[in-house]
């Protein structure tokens, strides 16, 4: 698919319409899924359709999910409110988009210098995170589930090469979530926008740089055409969880077997979505370098260190937030990161470092 197809799909405007209750015909519930993505955008757009299909299948066809891409029923940034208010039954997006609702929500998606994809799932399902996730989203009439992850994201596309922390001062940079808080503390002008808008802003110079997801999705959106410097590591988002949220009243009115079908549909997609990203990111990065002349560059060490200081300040502010729930979410995240981080020194980190140093085949 071409970049312009995704931009056109994501740019369609539409007004919200009220939804009284799930339409039922011959015991089939017709559910609307609204998404933050253009239809079939490699990565999140593909994953959203997979989820819609899986809920339909696991429910035995008793829940029939129709997907509406960004702009087809409501604009992408409006999907949280649409499901909260009952315009649609469920959405597919990322927690990083909902910081205006509560800063605590952002921790469920990604954290600067935070959790990897497997650790993020571990925190929610084995470290007490899901209970906090439920408590936060209940404030908005939603029942949330993680349903995928992009894995490590890239630091972003830069029009010019970065040599020092000073190069970032005043830079107009597209990012989201807590990564935008980190960027702001470094003197950057963080801006949130969709992928199509990011391409146009880089093209016109309205942006100096920006990150979206990673090589698979980024190549489809054509960022390599307007910025050739592709930086790593993406410490702002070591992983980025995708979520499904269901209108809480609709979910609670389901029989137990259909509640389980929705939950299993989400949970069972986490690994397939994550591993597809990993596989296709690797393939796409090679293509970007070999076919499009992209320069893959590492952020200077002093830049990474400054980002670490800024990230620590962001987390410290969350720990002192006026909202008691935000404090509890933050402390839970920090404790889990500390626990698995210490173990990873001997486990995955040790294995990966050993493999990189001595590749015998």
The neighbouring-strand residues paired with 188 are: none
Q: Are 303 and 165 in contact (CB under 8 A)?
A: yes
Alpha helical stretches, state H, the chain: 3-11, 44-58, 79-85, 103-106, 117-126, 129-138, 177-185, 195-204, 215-221, 248-252, 256-292, 301-319, 324-344, 348-357
Give the number of other Cβ atoms within 10 Å of residue 262's Cβ: 26
Does the annotation list 212 as a binding residue? yes
Q: Tokens for 61, please give them.
A: 């066809």
Does the annotation list 317 as a binding residue? no
The neighbouring-strand residues paired with 31 are: 65
Counting Cβ atoms within 10 Å, is residue 214 exposed (0-12), middle (13-18) or buried (19+)?
A: buried
Does the annotation list 211 as a binding residue? yes
Give the number of other Cβ atoms within 10 Å of residue 317's Cβ: 14
The DSSP 8-state label assigned to residue 342 in this structure reads H
Max Cα distance, the chain (Å): 64
List the Cα angle 187/192/196 in 5-degree steps.
Answer: 130
How many whole angstroms separate alpha carbon 257 and alpha carbon 244? 18
Name every residue whose Cβ is closer than 8 Å to that of residue 115 and which is 6 or more positions away in sequence: 122, 123, 238, 239, 333, 336, 337, 340
The DSSP 8-state label assigned to residue 262 in this structure reads H
Counting Cβ atoms within 10 Å, is residue 86 exposed (0-12), middle (13-18) or buried (19+)?
A: middle
The DSSP 8-state label assigned to residue 87 in this structure reads S
Residues annotated within the binding site for Na(+) are 212
- Report the binding-site residues: 153, 174, 211-212, 237
Binding-site residue numbers for substrate are 153, 174, 211, 237
């Amino acid at each position: 698919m071409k970049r312009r197809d995704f931009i056109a799909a994501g740019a369609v405007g539409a007004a919200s319409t009220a939804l009284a209750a799930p339409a039922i015909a011959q015991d089939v519930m017709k559910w609307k899924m609204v998404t933050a993505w253009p239809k079939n955008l490699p990565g999140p757009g593909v994953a959203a359709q997979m989820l819609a299909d899986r809920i339909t299948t696991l429910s035995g066809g008793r829940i029939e999910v129709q997907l509406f891409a960004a702009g087809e029923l409501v604009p992408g940034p409006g999907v949280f409110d649409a499901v909260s208010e009952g315009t649609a039954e469920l959405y597919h997006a990322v927690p990083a988009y909902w910081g205006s609702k509560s800063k605590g929500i952002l921790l469920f998606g990604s954290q600067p210098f935070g959790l990897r994809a497997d650790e993020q799932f571990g925190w929610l399902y084995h470290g007490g995170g899901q209970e906090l996730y439920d408590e936060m989203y209940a404030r908005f009439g939603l029942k949330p589930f993680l349903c995928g992850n992009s894995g490590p994201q890239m630091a972003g596309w830069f029009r010019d090469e970065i040599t020092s922390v000073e190069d970032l001062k005043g830079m107009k940079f597209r990012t989201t979530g807590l990564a935008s808080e980190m960027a702001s503390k470094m003197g950057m002008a963080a801006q949130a926008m969709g992928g199509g808008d990011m391409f146009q802003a880089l093209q016109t110079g309205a942006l100096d740089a920006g990150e979206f997801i990673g090589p698979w999705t980024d190549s489809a959106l054509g960022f390599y055409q307007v910025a050739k410097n592709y930086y790593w590591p993406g410490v702002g988002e070591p992983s980025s969880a995708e979520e499904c949220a269901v209108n809480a009243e609709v979910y609670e009115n389901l029989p137990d077997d259909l509640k389980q079908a929705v939950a299993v549909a989400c949970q069972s997609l986490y690994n397939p979505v994550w591993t597809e990203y990993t596989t296709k990111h690797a393939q796409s990065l090679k293509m970007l370098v070999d076919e499009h002349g992209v320069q893959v560059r590492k952020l200077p060490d002093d830049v990474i260190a400054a980002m670490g200081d800024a990230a620590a300040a962001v987390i410290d502010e969350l720990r002192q937030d006026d909202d008691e729930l935000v404090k509890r979410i933050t402390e839970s995240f920090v404790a889990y990161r500390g626990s698995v981080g210490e173990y990873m020194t001997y486990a995955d980190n040790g294995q990966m470092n050993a493999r990189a140093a001595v590749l015998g085949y």
